[in-house]
Amino acid sequence: MKAAIYQGPGAVEIHDVPDATLSRPTDAVVRVVRACVCGSDLWGYRGVLPNKPSGSRLGHEFIGVVEEVGAEVREVKVGDLVVAPFQWCDNTCETCRDGIQTSCPNTGTFGAAGADGGQGEAVRVPFADGTCVVVPGGMAACDEATLASLLALTDVAATGLHGAVLSGVERGDEVVVIGDGAVGLNAVLGASAVLGAERVVLVSTHDDRAALGREFGATDIVPARGDEGVEAVAALLGRKPKHVVEAVGNPDAWDMAIAMLRPGGTVGSVGVPHVRPELPLFPVLRGNLTVRAGLAPARHYLPDLLQRVLAGGYDPGRVFDLTLPFGEVAEAYRAMDERRSIKTMLAF
């Protein structure tokens, strides 16, 4: 089979690799239907994470059709269309039952060393019954837009929602989202459509992303960063906000989030803090702030979000503004790296 392989900074190629096969009785093999490139894939692509070895598999987001199941797989059937979160899990241990499937003792990430990546023709899915969520009706029930939204559930829709959940925003509340990438936009959508926030302020300096943000439920756009953005948000709301989502991960976004919060406020962070992996504590202590950060337990959110997608009116897949055939995966990386695309889908 063919799979995207990391060659080094800026270089992704499709190579022949061994076919995905069952290795344990709880595995399934899934033939990929749609996959995509994640903002976090760009860290490796840009060489910011120099620990990614040349020759690595790529991609942790995919949906597909089950091709083969192991002897102990009970729920997932051959022919099912399934959505897999970016990390697999057993979904039976106490940590999974707590809804933190990303910390399951049996977890791992697709595309990491030893695992098949989503950016390939097929994937061995460990703990298939725990990991996969079956789409009722299968491929026949899905148009292109539905496939896109199902694909979004594997990571960005769940991650954006998770940021909003971590921020503590609830029905009727105000929340500010810092970051207008696919995750930030999905934080807006999650806060608005899923959690029922009444006022959702998106910090965005890109008109096209802000426009999608408005369609996703942003009631206000603040096109300013840093101190200027902090002041603009407080002026807009009449007071510093209580709930902020940090959906970037870089120091500017973190500093903005902390400075923006009112005393006693909460930041929910789902950005990956590669650039400055430490948080200054004194501002947190002085402000009695709550800091919550986490890899999104997408599996926890998947059943509900899947129902929302199929019911209509919840369309996280709209963040895909470019679709390319899998053969053009290199161009997909370039388009996202050069910010020509918010998020690029790969069709197989």
Stretch in the footprint of its own copies (CB under 8 A) among 69-77, 93-101, 113-121, 145-153: 93-101
Q: With respect to its own copies, which residue has the nearer C-beta, 236 or 291?
A: 291
Q: How far is the CB of 166 from its own copies (least distance, A)?
A: 8
Question: DSSP per residue over 23-47, as a string?
Answer: -STT-EEEEEEEEE--TTHHHHHTT
Q: If binding is defined by CB under 8 A, does position 171 make contact with its own copies?
A: no
Q: Which 3 state secondary structure label does DSSP give 13?
A: strand
Q: With respect to its own copies, which residue has the nearer C-beta, 292 or 334?
A: 292
Q: If binding is defined by CB under 8 A, does position 51 make contact with its own copies?
A: no
Q: If binding is defined by CB under 8 A, does position 290 make contact with its own copies?
A: yes
What is the chain's length?
348
- Give the whole-angstrom CA distance, residue 89 versus residue 96: 8
The interface mask with its own copies, positions 233-272, x = CB under 8 A, is ------x----------------------xxx----x--x
Q: Which 3 state secondary structure label does DSSP give 124?
A: strand
Q: With respect to its own copies, which residue has the nearer C-beta, 89 or 309?
A: 89
Q: How far is the CB of 9 from its own copies (least distance, A)?
A: 22
Q: Which of 65, 224, 236, 295 binds its own copies (CB under 8 A)?
A: 295
Q: With respect to its own copies, which residue has the nearer C-beta, 277 or 313?
A: 277
Q: Which of 288, 307, 312, 339 binds its own copies (CB under 8 A)?
A: 288
Q: If binding is defined by CB under 8 A, does position 114 make contact with its own copies?
A: no
- Give the whole-angstrom CA distance, residue 103 versus residue 324: 33
Token pair, residue 261, equals 């919060």
Q: With respect to its own copies, which residue has the nearer C-beta, 213 or 271?
A: 271
Q: What is the largest CA-CA distance in the chain?
A: 61
Of 104, 100, 15, the closest CA to residue 55 belongs to 15
- Give the whole-angstrom CA distance, residue 165 versus residue 184: 13
How many Cα atoms occupy the beta-carbon half-sphere of 53 within 13 Å? 5
Stretch in the footprint of its own copies (CB under 8 A) among 192-200, 203-211, 289-297, 328-336: 289-297
Q: With respect to its own copies, which residue has the nearer C-beta, 94 or 338?
A: 94
Stretch in the footprint of its own copies (CB under 8 A) among 1-9, 61-69, 207-215, 275-283: 275-283
- Give the whole-angstrom CA distance, residue 232 versus residue 244: 14
Q: What angle in degrees, to the nearest 10, is found between the helix axes of 156-166 and 298-311?
A: 110
Q: With respect to its own copies, which residue has the nearer C-beta, 285 or 311?
A: 285
Of 305, 268, 297, 304, the closest CA to residue 107 belongs to 297
The single residue listed with the structure tokens 């369609």 is 215
Contact 191, 231 (CB under 8 A): no
Q: If binding is defined by CB under 8 A, does position 108 make contact with its own copies?
A: no
Stretch in the footprint of its own copies (CB under 8 A) among 39-47, 83-91, 193-201, 274-282: 274-282
**Which residues contribute to the site for its own copies (CB under 8 A)?**
94-95, 98-100, 102-103, 239, 262-264, 269, 272-273, 277-282, 284-295, 297
